[in-house]
Amino acid sequence: MPANWLSITHYPSPLGPLAVVTGPAGLCRLAFPGEKPDAPPSYLAQKFPGATINVDENGSSCREVLRQLDEYFAGRRFSFSLPLDLRGTPFQLAVWSALQRIPYGTTCSYSDIALVTGRPGAVRAVGQAIGRNPVGIIIPCHRVIGKDGRLVGFGSGLATKEWLLNFEESNLKTNQTLTGR
CATH number for the domain running over 90-179: 1.10.10.10
Each residue's pLDDT tens digit, 150-168: 998 888 889 999 999 999 9
Q: How much is the pLDDT for 38?
A: 80
pTM, 2 dp: 0.91
Q: Which of the four CATH numbers 3.40.50, 3.30.160, 3.55.50, 3.30.110 does domain 5-74 have? A: 3.30.160
pLDDT at 45: 87
Comparing C-alpha atoms, which of 142, 14, 141 is closest to residue 69? 14
Is 108 a residue of the active site?
A: no
What are the residue ranges spanned by the domains of the chain?
Answer: 5-74, 90-179
Do 136 and 32 form a contact (C-beta atoms < 8 A)? Answer: yes
Res. 41: pLDDT tops 70: no
- Residues 30-52 as b or e (16 or more Cβ within 10 Å = b): bbbeebebbbeeebbeebbeebe
Number of H helices, E strands in the chain: 6, 6
The percentage of residues in the chain with a pLDDT greater than 70, rounded to a whole number, is 93
Among 28, 62, 108, 141, the one annotated catalytic: 141
One fold for 5-74 and 90-179: no
> Model confidence over 110-127: pLDDT tens digits?
999 999 999 999 999 999
What is the pLDDT at residue 155?
84
Using the predicted structure, report yes or no on whether residue 8 has a pLDDT greater than 80: yes
For residue 165, the model assigns a pLDDT of 96
Say if residue 35's pLDDT is above 90: no
pLDDT at 2: 56
* 19: confidence class by pLDDT, cuts 50, 70, 90: very high
